[in-house]
Each structure stands twice: as structure tokens, then as C-alpha cells.
């Protein structure tokens, strides 16, 4: 079994063998989660603390369920009501929690790099549940598991990631993961929503959906992330939907068995047609949510095993 990482901060730090190990283990958790009794004791006796400094529905719920199904003591902090509001810094909050000996710390934060910084200060395993526009590793891993189960493989596929790439940590983590597993990645979207350093990504770039979607196996749609926009990136939502929203006519350019994905939360009629999102013959959006719990169980299980293998020293 290949797993070396002490923290799950990003896809950037994982090797293809570690990704495969995690997905293989997640497959077994998918089976467990479909049983009536969904319990294992992989994390029994361990404490998991969730700190979400940004709103979240599916990510927070699935980390919480994942920990509970593996027998951990799980606490989700209400960050809105925390001492951060009284001026305490992120690091002080983390150090306070650290003194309570958690084993796993799950963190979402609006600033890119904040979770990496925190991981340097605490002596437990840290999982990045999304930091700014930087990385969202468990999302890329659950997307990978969804693709692998649906397509029967995770290599040599044509995958289009469409929409607001510039503000998306989901896109960044997916580009890295899919590249490491030797897929061909295309990015489709308006030039205003493409990251500036696009040349370094090893991807093809399109600004026309019909052209970009030609013969792809997977279509991954992204939300327009208005909370990260500080100006007019698109003319209007109507115009955006017309050019970049996924509907049946645009999808007809893809392979006949192409799957449609979206990390959620989705804006129906802005980046995707509502009926297409619900079409169980094309859309795997609900499967993505299901895979999310299994992938987070696998990630926490592997980090707990790694910690058992090399106990960290208590920091001074």
C-alpha cells in the first residue's frame, strides 16, 4: 500500500500511487456506505475537529458523516460564533484546539495558503477542505473516483473543465490530479475567467463550448464564483448561459456516453441547464456527493494510519 503524506493539503503533494491507494480504499467504503450498518472502527478513539471559516453544505456534512462512520469523536466548530470574531487569529485558534489533542483537523478557509500555514503549527493531521482559490483536494479525489467508476479507468480520457476556472480551487486540484493520472485536460471558458498562468498547466484552452466539448468523455461544469469576483467578469448571466451554459445542444458535441459533473452548489440556468443536471443518464452529480463521503473516509483512515506509523513529537 502506497501512502506517505502526513497531511492532505493539496493534490500537488500526492503521487499517482498514493492517489490510486486512496481511491482503492474509497471503493471499499462505498460498499460499506451502501449497507444498513455503516460502521467501522478505523478511527475509534480518535478526535476529529472540523473548522469551516466559509459556508459549506456538502463538504462539511460529508466530512462529519465520514468521521462518525469510522468511529471518531467528531466536533464541528461554529466558526461564526468563535473567538475569531473577537479578533483572535487563525493560528491562535488552531493552537488552542491543538492543546486539546485532536488527531484530525479539517479546515476550510477563504485565504489561499491558510491551511498549509496552519498545518505547520499543529501536531495532528490536517485536511484541506478548500482554501481560497488554491486547492480542494478531496473534491478532486471524489471527482476522480466518480470518473473511474463510471468510465472504468482514470487515464487517457478527454476531460473538459468549463466555466469560472480563474476563481476555482476545484479546477486547480482537478487539473493537477487528472494530469498526474495522464489524462488530456481542456479548459473552456471566457478569457476573463481563465487564470493568468495558464501556459504552465499543460492543458488546452478553448473559449468556444461547441469546439471545446468535441469528443470529450467527461464534462465538468463549475459555478460562477461571484464571491471571489471584484469586478465585471461577464457581461450578464443570460449572455453567459447562452455562450457557456451547458445544455443538450452543446453536450451533443461530446462523446455519446460523456458524463456531466458539477461539484455543487449549482446555479441552474446560469452554468447548467436544470433538466440536464437531473438527467440520470448523463449527470453523475448525485454520485459525486455519494463518493464524497467514501473518499473522505479513505483520506482520514490513511492519515490516521500514517500517524500511527510515525508518531509526531509533541511541540514545545
Minimum CB separation of residue 45 from ligand NCD in Å reads: 29
Minimum CB separation of residue 261 from ligand NCD in Å reads: 11
Look up 108 and say whether it is catalytic: yes
Minimum CB separation of residue 97 from ligand NCD in Å reads: 22
Minimum CB separation of residue 75 from ligand NCD in Å reads: 20
Check if the beta carbon of residue 135 is closer than 8 Å to that of residue 79: no
Burial of 249 (0-12, 13-18, 19+ CB in 10 A): exposed
Contact pick of 123, 225, 253, 267 for ligand NCD (by CB under 6 A):
225
Q: Is the dihedral of CA 150, 152, 155, 157 positive or negative?
A: negative
Q: Report the site for ligand NCD in 145-174 (rule: CB under 6 A).
A: 169-170
The residues pairing with 128 across neighbouring beta strands, listed in sequence order, are 107
Check if the beta carbon of residue 53 is closer than 8 Å to that of residue 79: yes
Q: Report the site for ligand NCD in 240-279 (rule: CB under 6 A).
A: 263-264
Binding-residue pattern over the window 49 to 88 for ligand NCD, x denoting contact by CB under 6 A:
---------xx-----------------------------
Contact pick of 109, 148, 172, 223 for ligand NCD (by CB under 6 A):
223
**195 is an interface residue for ligand NCD by CB under 6 A:** no
d(CA 265, CA 174): 17
Look up 58 and say whether it is catalytic: yes
Instruction: Output the CA angle 88-90-92, nearest 5 degrees.
Output: 60
Query: Could you tell me which residues come within 8 angstroms of residue 167 by beta carbon, excluding any fewer than 6 positions away?
Result: 133, 193, 225, 228, 229
Q: What are the residue numbers of the active site?
A: 58-59, 86, 108, 136
Task: Write out the residues near ligand NCD by the rule CB under 6 A.
Answer: 58-59, 130, 136, 139, 169-170, 223, 225, 263-264
Amino acid at each position: 500500500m502506497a501512502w506517505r503524506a502526513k497531511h492532505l493539503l493539496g493534490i500537488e503533494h500526492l503521487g499517482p500511487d498514493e492517489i490510486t491507494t486512496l481511491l482503492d480504499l474509497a471503493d471499499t467504503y462505498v460498499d460499506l456506505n451502501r449497507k444498513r450498518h455503516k460502521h467501522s472502527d478505523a478511527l475509534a478513539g480518535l478526535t476529529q475537529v472540523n473548522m469551516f471559516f466559509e459556508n459549506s453544505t456538502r463538504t462539511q456534512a460529508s466530512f462529519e458523516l465520514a468521521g462518525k462512520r469510522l468511529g471518531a469523536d467528531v466536533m464541528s466548530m461554529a466558526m461564526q460564533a468563535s473567538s475569531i470574531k473577537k479578533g483572535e487569529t487563525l493560528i491562535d485558534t488552531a493552537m488552542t484546539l491543538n492543546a486539546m489533542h485532536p488527531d484530525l483537523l479539517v479546515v476550510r478557509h477563504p485565504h489561499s495558503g491558510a491551511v498549509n500555514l496552519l498545518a505547520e503549527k499543529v501536531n495532528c493531521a490536517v485536511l484541506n477542505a478548500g482554501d481560497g482559490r488554491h486547492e480542494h483536494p478531496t473534491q478532486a479525489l471524489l471527482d476522480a473516483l466518480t470518473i473511474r467508476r463510471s468510465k472504468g479507468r482514470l487515464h487517457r480520457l478527454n476531460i473538459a473543465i468549463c466555466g469560472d476556472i480563474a476563481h476555482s480551487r476545484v479546477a486547480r486540484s482537478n487539473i493537477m490530479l487528472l494530469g498526474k493520472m495522464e489524462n488530456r485536460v481542456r479548459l473552456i471558458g471566457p478569457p476573463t475567467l481563465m487564470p493568468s498562468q495558464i501556459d504552465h498547466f499543460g492543458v488546452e484552452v478553448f473559449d468556444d463550448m461547441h469546439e471545446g466539448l468535441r469528443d470529450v468523455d467527461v464534462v465538468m461544469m463549475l459555478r460562477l464564483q461571484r464571491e471571489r469576483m471584484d469586478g465585471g467578469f461577464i457581461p450578464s448571466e443570460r449572455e453567459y448561459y447562452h455562450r457557456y451554459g451547458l445544455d443538450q445542444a452543446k453536450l451533443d458535441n461530446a462523446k455519446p456516453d460523456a458524463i456531466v459533473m458539477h461539484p455543487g452548489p449549482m446555479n441552474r440556468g446560469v452554468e447548467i441547464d436544470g433538466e440536464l443536471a437531473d438527467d440520470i443518464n448523463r449527470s453523475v452529480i448525485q454520485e459525486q456527493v455519494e463518493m464524497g463521503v467514501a473518499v473522505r473516509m479513505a483520506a482520514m483512515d490513511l492519515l490516521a494510519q500514517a500517524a500511527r506509523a510515525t508518531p509526531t513529537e509533541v511541540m514545545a
